[in-house]
Amino acid sequence: MGILNIFFSNLDAAHIFILLGAWLIAIVVAIVCHECAHSFVAVKMGDMTPKYAGRLSLNPARHFDALGFVFLVILGFGWAKPVPINPNNFRNVKKGEILVSLAGIVTNFILCIIFTVCAALCFLYLDSSVLFYYFLQYVFYFLAATNLCFAVFNLLPLYPLDGFNLIRAFCRYDNKFIQFMYKWSFLIMLVLLISGLFGWIISLFTDAVIGGIFGLFNINLI
């Protein structure tokens, strides 16, 4: 979802403004938590590089790439500044690479579960005709959906995503799959996004995770 999807919806101006604000909050929270998780685990594993680079911070400005943020807001796809990490500083290089790669993904998945439950409770007990309650419902829903999207996207074994780094931790540098992904990942990523395949993958996870939790509360929504 991007700004265009919200603006071209059949909602009035007040509800569009509310959805836009909720969605922007969700983006900021998901990105900052994802990048901070990488930085925190890297530091715990012995590499102080993220701390010296100012990435062990909840300040969004430390993590956002200007162009990547513009793309994310308009098109629903973008990127943040990569966290600078020196694996040679890890007390255990392989363990450090694995845990750092998993940190952002696991954090986003955990946040997705928490915010999905919060969203379900809001939809269940709050009156959506009250604009503030409507905002709370959708800020939690977008927080859940955005964190899930980030987690699933970063699971893809495409360079330079976390899924790729996780696989690379178990492989030699000259591994054919690793070299192939170094060369073709960007093209594969474009195909997944333009073709709608990534959206289809996300919808499967959304139905399974968010839809599943909503189902526990007997909520049929979105």
Q: Which residues are catalytic?
A: 35
How far, in Å, CA of 146 to CA of 142, rounded?
A: 6
Question: How many helical (H) and strand (E) elements, i.e. helices and strands, does the chain have?
Answer: 10, 0
Q: Which residues, in sequence order, are CB contacts of 108 under 8 Å at separation 6+? A: 30, 33, 34, 147, 148, 150, 151, 154
DSSP 3: H
How far, in Å, CA of 23 to CA of 2, rounded?
A: 9
